[in-house]
Amino acid sequence: MDEYFESETMYGEEQQPEPERMYREEQRVEPGDERSAAIETARSWELPYLEDEPLVIDNESATRVGGEELARIGAAPVRCDDGSVRVVLADATPERIAGIREHFSGAVAIGVVTPSTLASLLDAASMSVASATPDTVTSGAATAAPVWGRTLERVLGLFDSEAARLQELRTKMQELGGEMAARERRVQELETELQRIRVERLRDQEAVDRLKHELADRNSRLERALTKTQELAAIIQGGHLR
């Protein structure tokens, strides 16, 4: 009976709309296997489920990107029955989809397959790259030119942004250096002013000490003069008494 339902689904795929076919496929898979996981991934990311479509590696795209790079990003370029090229993956993540957008055209269609199917496709892509002819490589390089051009433009844009940021940082450092130099000059001016005040204070102190010494000397002379005056007064008074 399972064979009957599978045969009925297979023959009815061409007449059934895509959502209905997806629904029937979901109904005949057991939860927890890789097929149901792939269907769930396609549903959650709103991507087409391509497991039941005949898929062949697009040699030109595979040669252009390279087998190792395809294995690294976990995606494979395939050509569908309608002749369109899509990139299939098994585990959809923002990083993986960003990697696909970077290596392929930004408008490339993405689909979901099971991990085992993706592994077979990646093996086929590696074999396709290994057996690529020089003409195929040249054609792939020509196709890759727009992608590499966009990548180079993006890299140059990053360099320009970094250069602008460094220039802004350099300007701020120069402004900070000018402020620090102005502060250093102000400190030197204050130190010079302080030194001048110290010298003037020493001179004032010397003048005060000199005046104190002169005052002490005058007081001493006045005391001596007073003593002599008193002595003379005593002598004069003694003369009168005689």
Domain boundaries, the chain: 1-30, 34-132
pLDDT over 60 (residue 1): no
CA dist list (Å): 217 to 53, 81, 106, 214:
124, 126, 105, 5
Residue 88 host element (H or E): strand 85-89
CA dist list (Å): 170 to 30, 44, 124:
63, 48, 52
Read off the pLDDT of residues 167-191 as tens digits, 9 standing for 90 and up: 999 999 999 999 999 999 999 999 9
Q: What is the pLDDT of residue 22?
A: 41
Mean of all residue pLDDT scores within the chain: 79
